[in-house]
Amino acid sequence: MIRKHKEIFKWRQLLFSLALKDLKKKYRNATGGVGWMLILPFAQAVIFSFIFKFLFKVEVDNYPLFLLSGLFPWVFLRSSLDAAKDSILNNANLIKKSYFPRQVLPISNIVSNFINFLFALVILLLFSVFYAKVRLSALWSLPLLILIQLVMMCGISLLVSSLNTIFRETEFLMDILFLVWFYITPIVYPLQMLKNILHPAILRLYALNPMVGIISGYQEIFVYGNRPDMGLLSISFFFSLLIFFFGWAVFSRCEQVFADLI
C-alpha cells in the first residue's frame, strides 16, 4: 500500500491536470465561473433560514452564517462524491487505453471541488469577520479540520467509485444515504440543541458520524470564534482514517476488473 501511495505521488501531475480539465470544462463556457458553484449553498441557506427561523422558530444567533458554515463543507462533500461515483464509468476510454493508478480518477474530483471550496472558505471568512467574531487562535485549527474531511472524502470517493462501477444500484442508494446523512449531521440545527434533548448514550452513537465533529468544528470557528471540540474531532479523525483504509481496500480489490467491466 505504501508503494502504491508513492506511485500516486509520482502521478500527482495527472491528479492536478485532470482536476484542471474538470474546472476548465465546467467554467470555460459559463459567464460567472466559480460563482455558480457558490449559488447552491447560498440558495439553500436562504431557504433553510426561512423555514427554520420563521416557521419553526429555531433559536440560533446568526442563523444564516451558521447555515452557510455547515452548507459550504457539505456541498463540497456532496458534489465531490457525486462526481467521483461516475469517475470510473465516465473515463472508460482512459482506463481501457492507458495505464495509471486508477485511484487518481475519483480523487481528482475532490481536488477540483476543493478549489471551489477554497473560494467558499474565503467568503465564509469575510462574512464571519463582518457578522461574528473570528479569533486567530481558532482559525489555526481550520487546516486540521479540512485535512480530516479530505481523508474521509478520499475514502468514500474510492468506495463509491468502485462500487458504482460494479453495482449500478450504488447511485440510487447514495441519494438516499446522503439525504439521511444530511439530517443526522448538525447543519440546519446546532449540536447544542441535541445535547439538551437526546439521551447521552444516543448522543454518543450520533457522534460516531465523522461529519458531526467536522461540521460543528466549522461552525465553532466561523460562528462562535471557538476552537473545535477536540474530543469530537478525534472521533472524526479515527473514523475518517478507518473509512479511508476501507475505501482503499475495496477499490484495490475492484480495480482488477475495471478494464474488463466497463
Partner 1 sequence: MYSLRLHNVSKAYRIEYRKRTSIREVFLRMLKGFPRGEFFALKGVSLALKREECLGVIGRNGSGKTTLLKIICGVSKPTSGELEIIGRRMGILELCAGFEGDLTGRENIYLNGALLGLLSKEIGEKIESIIDFADIGDFIDAPVRTYSNGMYLRLGFAIAVNISADILIIDEVFAVGDEAFQEKCLKKLKEFKSQGKTIVFVSHDLKMIKEICDRVIVMEQGSIISDAGPQEAIKKYLSLIGKNTEEKLTKEIEILSVYFYDDTGRRANVFRTGQEAKIVIEYLAHKKIENPVFGIGIYRDDMYLIGPNTRDDNYRINFIENKGIVEYKMKSLPLTEGNYKLSASVHNFDETMFYDYCDPSYDFTVVPGAKKIKYGIVAIENTEWGSQNGDG
Residues that bind partner 1 (CB under 8 A): 10-14, 16-18, 21, 24-25, 28, 93-100, 165-169, 256-257, 259-261
Q: How far is the CB of 21 from partner 1 (least distance, A)?
A: 6
Closer to partner 1 by CB, 34 or 262: give it: 262
Q: Is the dihedral of CA 151, 157, 160, 166 positive or negative?
A: negative
CB of 87 closer than 8 Å to CB of 105: yes
Closer to partner 1 by CB, 23 or 138: give it: 23
Q: What 3-state class would DSSP assign to 34? A: coil
- Residues 96, 261: Cα–Cα separation, whole Å: 10
Classify residue 162 by burial, with Cβ atoms within 10 Å: 0-12, 13-18, 19+. Answer: buried
Closer to partner 1 by CB, 47 or 257: give it: 257
Closer to partner 1 by CB, 10 or 204: give it: 10
Closest CA to 219 of 110, 111, 113, 60: 60
Closer to partner 1 by CB, 131 or 167: give it: 167
- Cα–Cα separations (whole angstroms), residue 132 to 24, 51, 66, 126, 240: 35, 22, 10, 10, 30
Q: How far is the CB of 76 from partner 1 (least distance, A)?
A: 24
Q: How far is the CB of 38 from partner 1 (least distance, A)?
A: 23
Q: Could you identify the residue written with the cell 465516465? A: 90
- Residues 77, 82: Cα–Cα separation, whole Å: 9
Q: How far is the CB of 29 from partner 1 (least distance, A)?
A: 8
Q: How far is the CB of 161 from partner 1 (least distance, A)?
A: 14
